[in-house]
Amino acid sequence: MKFKELATYFEKLEETSSRLILIDVLSDLFKHIKENEIDKVIYLTQGRVAPFFAPIELGMADKTVAGAIAIAYKEDRDKVLTDYAKLGDLGLVVQHVHHSPEGNEPSVSDVFAILLEIAHTSGAGTVEKRLQLFSDLLKTLDKTAAKHLVRIALGKTRLGIGDPTILDALALAVLQDRTKRKLLERAYNETSDLGLIGKTLMSGGLDAVAQLTVTVGQPIRSELCERLPNPMKVFEKMDKDGQGIHATPKYDGFRVQIHKDGQKVSMFSRNLEDMTHMFPELIAGALTQIKAKTAILDSEALAYQPESEEFLPFQETTKRRRKYKIDEMAKSLPLKAFVFDILYANGKSLIDKPLVERMKVLDEVIEKGDTLLEAPGQVLHKPEDLQLMLDDSISKGLEGVVVKRVDSPYVAGGRNFNWVKLKRHSAGDLTDTIDCVVLGYIYGKGKRTAFGAGALLVGVYDEKTDSFVTVSRIGTGLSDDEWRSIKERTKGLELDHKPARVESLITPSVWVKPELVIEVLADEITRSPLHTAGLVIKDEVKEPGYALRFPRLVSFRDKDKKAEDATSVKELIEMYNGQGKKE
């Protein structure tokens, strides 16, 4: 397929505001793609040249791409940057300065190969080499193709496509039924590689997809927690056969999946990002403390202050997510990894084993040390004992506890009642936080006029429909500097139409692609006909949606959480049903 043809599909995807049409357009695209290009097309659709976990980045900043545009079309670089400041999208800028294409139209494979070459360029003269390669490529493309190439290079495709949508489209294109997405999800959850799923499905069908499984060096999508209000409800829900429950303190750090393959260690975030280079102390700990030749561990990493011998809050821990002065930060703000699960050991996947069996293997695999610490979980048989652990955890400044079924497998990518989080104050009035996704912002009044934003339209994730639904408008909790930062944080995410995966009855001043995650505290959850979270319209009768009363922003969480990992509609309804109930 010519890249020009792919760009026409991207244009259709960008213009649609319907998720079902997104699936249809993608499915039609996949039907016209050959087997040897399907993985490349999927990665390009994601604004990538590799799966998210692969440490292969195009490494092209805004100014670098602007420089390439200037070279390709003999424009002044400062003018390109000035136009960018006005339009906020270099894709639109390139359309304004575009000249007629030169040379032969490149294929998708041709473009992909050049982008890979750019990504792998290093050493002396790297910037100049990348500029030349990219500008030469731009010259061969028409306006539409150039626009989308520029956005791919910046990782800002503006297509509004989530992973479930791609899986739906693959199922529709190859299996003729989008409801068969479930047949592909297990393999995706265990490999985290949509390109691999697409290529395997096209070449070998469902039988080949069924053979895909856990591999060291490829992150497994994290299992996530549901919520319950108190220890009594935990035992009612999770211990129906009297085996007890497994409880572990809940640490307020960030999820780190540690992979060891001989003397090679890799580490991944919950967002599937390769974080290996950021944490040299965890690499050293893995090499000295993991006795298995190959292993995959699930852990929570926290910053530790040696002088005061205390674990630091999340805001301090996040300072370790950086690209520069890594060794210096590792000394001043070292991390400890609390290992709470093992998913693979010595060539065998353990995810289908019961939790209690995995805990035995974990104890055998981890050698005592100062960096990797086994999370002190235990099996409890009475709600009173769980309450004691919860109180003890909170007294130590931790978030609460995580409770698991003792016989549960590790459900990659799953959110179910195998795992439940029980946090401070989760019984009683709503004082637990909610992770929301920014869907748009509303121009401010008064002094906020100068900030460009005065309120945020936020929502939560609806797992059933792979969409984002609204729960609130937020106008409090941000400092003046944070209000000013909204424009910068949403740069490249703004859209002039409602995103296809957003369901909203409210129209903000500016729509935002659902990627920015924030932590929100509210007084309570109420019912509201203005918001679409849980909204049901049937036979012209409308059941109100769910909304947050007196919400305020606590923190930005977009660096450690994907939008799809935000609070779900199901969780929101459970919190609504549980608020104000004490036992």
CATH number of the domain that residue 552 is part of: 2.40.50.140
Long-range contacts of the stretch 230-233 (C-beta < 8 A, 24+): 230/383, 230/387, 230/422, 230/426, 230/427, 230/582, 230/583, 231/383, 231/384, 231/386, 231/387, 231/390, 231/422, 232/383, 232/583, 233/578, 233/583
pLDDT of residue 391: 84
Chain centroid to CA 573: 22
In a domain, 583, yes or no: no
Q: What pTM does this model have?
A: 0.81
Claim to verify: residue 237 and residue 256 sit in the same structural domain:
yes
Claim to verify: residue 31 and residue 68 sit in the same structural domain:
yes
Catalytic residue set:
250
In a domain, 189, yes or no: no
d(CA 480, CA 477) in angstroms, rounded, equals: 10
Length of the chain: 583
- Short-list 105, 109, 104, 115, CA closest to 34: 109
Sequence-ordered strand ranges (E) for 210-273: 224-227, 245-250, 254-261, 264-268
Residue where a domain terminates, one of 370, 395, 423: 423
Number of alpha carbons in the 13 Å side-chain half-sphere of residue 511? 20
Q: What does the block give as tokens for 562?
A: 């994907």
In a domain, 16, yes or no: yes
Q: Are 494 and 512 in contact (CB under 8 A)?
A: yes
Show Cβ contacts of residue 49 under 8 Å, excluding neighbours closer than 6 positions: 43, 56, 58, 112, 115, 116, 119
In a domain, 113, yes or no: yes
In a domain, 192, yes or no: no
Burial class (CB in 10 A: 0-12, 13-18, 19+), 180: middle
d(CA 583, CA 581) in angstroms, rounded, equals: 7
In a domain, 202, yes or no: no
Give, as one character, the DSSP assignment of residue 52. Answer: T
pLDDT of residue 539: 58
In a domain, 163, yes or no: no
Claim to verify: residue 250 and residue 393 sit in the same structural domain:
yes
Claim to verify: residue 475 and residue 401 sit in the same structural domain:
no
Each of the 583 residues of the chain gets a pLDDT tens digit; together they read 999 999 999 999 999 888 899 999 999 999 999 999 999 999 999 999 999 999 888 868 899 999 999 999 999 999 999 999 888 889 999 999 998 888 889 999 999 999 999 999 888 888 899 999 999 999 999 999 999 999 999 988 888 888 999 999 999 999 999 989 999 999 999 999 999 999 999 999 999 999 999 999 999 999 999 888 889 999 999 998 899 999 999 888 889 999 999 999 999 998 899 999 889 999 999 999 999 999 999 999 988 765 565 677 777 777 777 777 788 888 878 889 999 999 999 999 999 999 999 999 999 999 999 899 988 689 999 999 999 998 888 777 777 899 999 999 999 998 889 999 987 654 434 557 899 999 999 987 766 677 778 889 999 999 888 999 999 999 877 788 888 888 888 888 888 889 999 999 999 999 999 999 999 988 888 888 889 999 886 655 568 899 998 888 888 886 678 899 899 999 899 888 877 654 4
The range of the structural domain enclosing residue 564 comes to 434-578
Task: Using DSSP, state whether 103 is helix, strand or coil.
Answer: coil
Residue where a domain terminates, one of 380, 400, 423: 423
Q: Which residue is associated with the tokens 């609504």?
A: 576
pLDDT of residue 425: 52
How many domains does the structure of the chain reveal?
3
Long-range contacts of the stretch 160-163 (C-beta < 8 A, 24+): 160/13, 160/14, 160/22, 160/495, 160/499, 160/500, 160/501, 160/513, 160/514, 161/13, 161/22, 161/26, 161/45, 161/46, 162/466, 162/501, 162/564, 163/188, 163/194, 163/564
Chain centroid to CA 113: 27
Claim to verify: residue 276 and residue 403 sit in the same structural domain:
yes
Q: Which residue is associated with the tokens 């699936």?
A: 23
Strands 254-261 and 264-268: antiparallel
DSSP count for the chain of H helices, then E strands: 20, 24
- Short-list 511, 519, 514, 445, CA closest to 483: 445
pLDDT of residue 429: 47
d(CA 491, CA 40) in angstroms, rounded, equals: 26
d(CA 101, CA 98) in angstroms, rounded, equals: 9
Claim to verify: residue 438 and residue 419 sit in the same structural domain:
no
Claim to verify: residue 119 and residue 46 sit in the same structural domain:
yes
d(CA 229, CA 578) in angstroms, rounded, equals: 6
The sign of the torsion formed by the CA atoms of 355, 357, 361, 366 equals positive
Task: Return the number of other C-beta atoms located less than 10 Å from residue 181's C-beta.
Answer: 21
Claim to verify: residue 18 and residue 79 sit in the same structural domain:
yes
Claim to verify: residue 250 and residue 383 sit in the same structural domain:
yes
Residue where a domain terminates, one of 423, 451, 467: 423
Claim to verify: residue 262 and residue 404 sit in the same structural domain:
yes
Q: Which residue is associated with the tokens 């100049």?
A: 128
Claim to verify: residue 317 and residue 406 sit in the same structural domain:
yes
Claim to verify: residue 409 and residue 463 sit in the same structural domain:
no
CATH number at residue 34: 1.10.3260.10
